[in-house]
Amino acid sequence: MLRRVLKGAGVLAAMLLVAVVALAYTWLPGKVMTSMNHLHPAQPGELPGDAAELHRELFVVDLHCDATLWSRDVLAEDTRGHVDIPRLIAGNVALQGFTAATRIPRSMNIDRTENKWDVLVPLTFFQGWPANTWNSPHARALYQAGLLHKAATASGGRFRLIRTQEDLEAYEAARSKTPKIAAGFLGIEGLHCLEGDLEKVRVLFDAGYRMMAPTHFFDNLIGGSAHGVEKYGLTEFGAAVIEFMEALNITVDLAHASPKVIDDTLAMVTRPVVVSHTGVRGPCDNNRNLTDDQLRAIAATGGVIGIGFWDTAVCGDDVAAIVAAIRHTADVVGIDHVGLGSDWDGATVTPFDAAGTGQLTAGLLAAGFSEAEIRKVMGENVRRVLRANLPPAALIAAEVPLPAA
């Protein structure tokens, strides 16, 4: 009798466990995603007519979002988070940078983050990602690239993944005839996902990655993070990685880099670099943001600084705060070196989502920026850098050698 009761209780406990895991699988990831990525409650109003008209004509490029971290179908319109293809099209965003985050320490903070307790272990597990991603940053990067490739294939032409100069040219030509389409390109924040293997730069390039930031929130084998413990410069391995990236026409992204990594990288690069998502210390002085000297050094490469839309980047939660950061950057380095780096879906609260991007055009107009200046900031500057840095299709087939040791 007792055995039967125990057996019954065991079965009940097992069923309960299955129910809890099933609930966690279906409910938890969405709950975490919406709690971390939403809009500021005070929403901007209707778009004024002149702003709406100008915005429709723009080629808008945003350098950075983390949409691939959340298991949502990017082809389906959603009200959760910030980015999906229907919202990019509704907001007239022509080109969106989709960046893979591949390891996130639990104590993540902008001043001193230790590389401990990776929250992506439970997040990948509960989102039902393949088992090889549960503990491998490299596998996570490849999986996220795969999500976008699949979306492009399944989109029926509504969404393209840009990998070459020719892809970008063909897309621009197609979009001038059919504006209701969108495109993306792949980036990575934190080359800890190379797992110490230089050859993996090529593997990630083959997977479509075209922009890479050496570090994310913690110091790694490539160099120190702005938010790391030691914040050291580029390592010898890191210098080889940068050299190989440039040989493969991968854009160097200095978001999250320590000041020493910024200096060391700028001393060796030959192409324009970007900072894909950042704030600037002028209007918003914290450890996440760039000094005026750093802005000048980045602009000197011909590159672009992508201004973020969230509170830590711009010290405010409205469109005016983003406009103030753009104003400061343009005043320091000129209008040709300012772009957008929303950090949508990057555990951020922003004043508008991809569908509401016209709000920024309205804010810039209201602040007195000219139409020509707005075109540059909203996308033409980044397009210029991508045209210069994207590989020609011929390079994809060529065997680019590893840098000499």
Contact set with Zn ion (CB under 5 A): 189
Could you write out the DSSP letters of every residue in 369-400?
Answer: --HHHHHIIIIIHHHHHHHHHSPPHHHHHS-P
Name residue 118's beta-bridge partners. 105
Nearer to Zn ion, 78 or 189 (CB): 189
Q: How far is the CB of 159 from Zn ion (least distance, A)?
A: 23
Dist. CA 386–CA 66, nearest whole Å: 19
User: CB 325 → Zn ion: shortest distance, Å?
Assistant: 16
Contacts of 304 (CB under 8 A, 6+ apart): 63, 272, 274, 275, 337, 338, 339, 381, 382, 384, 385
* Nearest-angstrom CA–CA distance, 322 and 98: 21
Characterize 6-43 residue by residue with b for buried, 16 or more Cβ atoms within 10 angstroms of its Cβ, and e for exposed. Answer: eeeeeeeeeeeeeeeeeeeeeeebbebbeebbbbbeee
In order, the DSSP letters of 55-74 are HHH--EEEEEE-GGGS---T
Strand partners, 349: 38
92 or 350: whose CB is closer to Zn ion?
A: 350
| Minimum CB distance to Zn ion, residue 190 (Å) | 9
171 vs 344, which CB is nearer to Zn ion? 344
- In the complex, the smallest distance separating the C-beta of residue 3 from Zn ion, rounded to whole angstroms, is 56
Determine the residue with CB nearest Zn ion. Answer: 189
Distance in Å, CB of 106 to Zn ion, minimum: 16
Rg over CA atoms, the chain: 21
Of 278 and 329, which CB lies nearer to Zn ion in the complex structure?
A: 278
In the bound complex, what is the minimum distance in angstroms from residue 104's beta carbon to Zn ion? Answer: 10
Q: Which lies closer to Zn ion via its Cβ, residue 66 or residue 167?
A: 66
Q: Closer to Zn ion at the Cβ: 278 or 361?
A: 278
**Residue placing its CB nearer to Zn ion in the complex, 55 or 210:** 210
DSSP 263: H
Minimum distance from residue 278 beta carbon to Zn ion (Å) = 9
Rounded CA-CA distance 82/223 in Å is 31
d(CA 238, CA 233): 9
Q: Contact 321/279 with Cβ under 8 angstroms?
A: no
Orientation of helix 199-206 relative to helix 137-154, angle to 10°: 20
CB 255 to Zn ion: min, Å: 6
CB of 228 to Zn ion, least distance (A): 14
* Closest distance of CB 50 from Zn ion, Å: 34
Instruction: Give the three-class secondary structure for 348.
Output: coil
Report the helix count and the strand count for the chain, using DSSP H and E. 16, 11
Q: Identify which of residues 189 and 264 has a Cβ nearer to Zn ion in the complex.
A: 189
d(CA 225, CA 211): 17
What residues pair up with 100 in beta bridges, in sequence order?
A: 188
Decide whether 62 or 189 has the Cβ nearer to Zn ion: 189
Identify which of residues 167 and 189 has a Cβ nearer to Zn ion in the complex.
Answer: 189
